[in-house]
Amino acid sequence: MEEIFDGDLYTLTDETGKESEFELIGSCEFEGKTYLALVPVEEGSEEYVILRLEADEKGEEMLVTIDDDDEFDRVADYFEDELFDTVDYDENGDNAQ
């Protein structure tokens, strides 16, 4: 099941302690895990990141980087096929060819 969100913002901290703002553009449940697609809020950024939602030892939710290349590729393909396929790229609404 995929969801599209409008404007949910997350402040993420990288391994060096630098904080960055990201906007949630979608989430999905895939192979029993939850993944979030986020785009940096900074102007001009068109690339998005995909993070996995996990619980720490205290049961608190946290977002983690997907280190396994195969897992990342499967999830990225799923987002491309299922979530972002719903975007209407025809701005004029004209489907004539």
Check: pTM over 0.75? Answer yes or no.
no
pLDDT score of 79: 87
- Examine the pLDDT at 1 and tell me if it is beyond 50: no
DSSP 34-87: EEEEEEE-STT----EEEEEEE-TTS-EEEEE---HHHHHHHHHHIIIIIGGGS
> Percentage of the chain with pLDDT > 90?
38
pLDDT score of 71: 96
Domain boundaries, the chain: 2-86
| CA end-to-end distance (rounded Å), the chain | 33
Mean pLDDT of all residues in the chain?
A: 80
Amino acid at site 74: R
- When pLDDT is averaged across residues 73-79 and rounded to a whole number, the result is 92
Question: pLDDT-derived band of residue 86, with 50, 70 and 90 as boundaries?
Answer: low
